[in-house]
Structure 1
């Protein structure tokens, strides 16, 4: 390891120690989001602690993707009649992170692309999970949130080290590596591990910590192994669909077999996702602003 790489890794580790403390309002909102079967009124009251979050959720509820001509002016209506309880929980989680980690100083960070990747992964996981008996113990909102949080470490880097992450974006194109590969190569650990540090510091539900901590561990044998396999499938699927590349069934076959997921279902979903990309793009734009 040369001195420059070592210094970069040390800088990264020191920066992680400076992760912001989660505000009290956000703590209460996250507690509500992660309360199973919480009444809509109690969730609405918790979300109302953040005017910015309410404004963003109402913007989503009134977007063409959801509203279908209706005008939604209060958060309870948005939850009950438009977005639904599970989706509001997942979107609120993503919006909290987006607000706390301002990545505008990172020149190469494309917030819209980040969120459409995250949203497509989350939607894919939620839809495909219905085909997998081993995942019945996980709620749809949990699976959706797991997909949204996979790449949270990139947001952290964009906030803490904007110049370093911009350099990684440039180098990944030059070296023809994925951003994830370039982060691991330059920083000595993956963005999944960085995301895990954040979730651990903020005491978010253990499930999400386990998913990020073990995402790259193909030998993991815990209760979450089937969900991890599904998320790997969905992250690869989202990258392929968004770039408009043709689906190569061989890239998905082994993971699908492992969790008894019909490969045909993945290919069908890929077509559906491609058709819905314009609507997903609008949703990602609202979330990324």
Structure 2
């Protein structure tokens, strides 16, 4: 608790770089051209990751009948490409960002909102008018990683983040800045740059909770910020949340947007299933 903000930044900077496995998963996460064979080939390079994904795919938790014997089969028959990428990312970062020392960090909620934000960001991307148009893969990756910083802070500074998560009132971001000298978005963007992620993704992480009017000129960041608002609002209501009124008119038909949002929210139980699988050890899945 006596550390100054600069020393905390050094601790974040000293966090080990992701393993080669994690770096490959991070690279493929935003690649729209990566098909299931390529993803399967990368995963199968790493026996431990392969074993854990096959365990997850064969789990009774998924209600699948029959033995899944390859990663490609797991993707096609059970998990799907998005789930496989997210699961691989979760397992890759598991040992690097351990959050057991911060019991108030709600990991299942964290993954649910990350997965939901990723799918909303990807689904909304084609509806934005104007250029440049961010790729759906980049939108998915940025949505999935948007709360990377809050997990990193919970792993590195569990006592301070325990206070943040258990505070009964007040602004969590302001309390993070008071206790740590940074908020989760600043920490996430710093870490993403440290890990060599593409700059547009880093910016989207940094701006994911900015007022929408401030990110209008950054299509990827704006789409992710809208997705985060929608995902968090969906926890507080039944049915699809409304498109934010502060979003600009360059998003086109509100009827089409509402249809797309409803289509994603209808899969909420699927995303909760994904979040549970991403949260607990694959061996217990």
Query: How far apart are residue 65 of structure 1 and its match?
Result: 9.0
Sort the Cα spacing of 1:154 and 1:132 in 2 relative to 1 into closer, same or farther, 3 A.
same
Does 1:162 find its partner at 2:158? yes
Q: Secondary structure at the match of 2:93?
A: helix
The equivalent of 1:24 in structure 2 is: 20
8 A Cα contact 1:240 1:246, kept in partner: no
Sort the Cα spacing of 1:180 and 1:98 in 2 relative to 1 into closer, same or farther, 3 A.
farther
Query: How far apart are residue 60 of structure 1 and its match?
Result: 5.2
The equivalent of 2:283 in structure 1 is: none
8 A Cα contact 1:115 1:288, kept in partner: yes
8 A Cα contact 1:241 1:273, kept in partner: no
Match of 2:201 among 208, 221, 244: 208
Does 1:276 find its partner at 2:270? no
Sort the Cα spacing of 1:38 and 1:283 in 2 relative to 1 into closer, same or farther, 3 A.
closer
Give distance in 1, aligned partners of 2:214 and 2:25: 35
The equivalent of 2:127 in structure 1 is: 131
Does 1:252 find its partner at 2:244? yes
Query: How far apart are residue 200 of structure 1 and its match?
Result: 1.0
Sort the Cα spacing of 1:114 and 1:140 in 2 relative to 1 into closer, same or farther, 3 A.
same
C-alpha root-mean-square deviation of aligned residues, in Å? 3.3
TM-score by length of 2: 0.80
Per-residue CA deviations over 1:25-83 (Å, capped at 9, x if unaligned) read 33344445555534644432321233443344335545689776564331021234544
TM-score by length of 1: 0.79
Query: How far apart are residue 241 of structure 1 and its match?
Result: 1.1
Give distance in 1, aligned partners of 2:57 and 2:257: 28
The equivalent of 2:169 in structure 1 is: 175
Q: Secondary structure at the match of 1:108?
A: coil
Sort the Cα spacing of 1:135 and 1:76 in 2 relative to 1 into closer, same or farther, 3 A.
farther
Does 1:286 find its partner at 2:280? no
The equivalent of 1:47 in structure 2 is: 43
Q: Secondary structure at the match of 1:104?
A: coil
Sort the Cα spacing of 1:120 and 1:32 in 2 relative to 1 into closer, same or farther, 3 A.
closer
Match of 1:140 among 131, 136, 139: 136
Sort the Cα spacing of 1:40 and 1:183 in 2 relative to 1 into closer, same or farther, 3 A.
same
User: How many aligned positions are there?
Assistant: 278
Sort the Cα spacing of 1:19 and 1:228 in 2 relative to 1 into closer, same or farther, 3 A.
same
The equivalent of 1:111 in structure 2 is: 107
Give distance in 1, aligned partners of 2:257 and 2:84: 25
Query: How far apart are residue 91 of structure 1 and its match?
Result: 4.3
Give distance in 2, aligned partners of 1:221 and 1:247: 23
The equivalent of 2:186 in structure 1 is: 193
8 A Cα contact 2:230 2:241, kept in partner: no
Query: How far apart are residue 104 of structure 1 and its match?
Result: 0.9
8 A Cα contact 1:183 1:191, kept in partner: yes
Give distance in 1, aligned partners of 2:131 and 2:91: 26
The equivalent of 1:235 in structure 2 is: 228
Q: Secondary structure at the match of 1:253?
A: coil
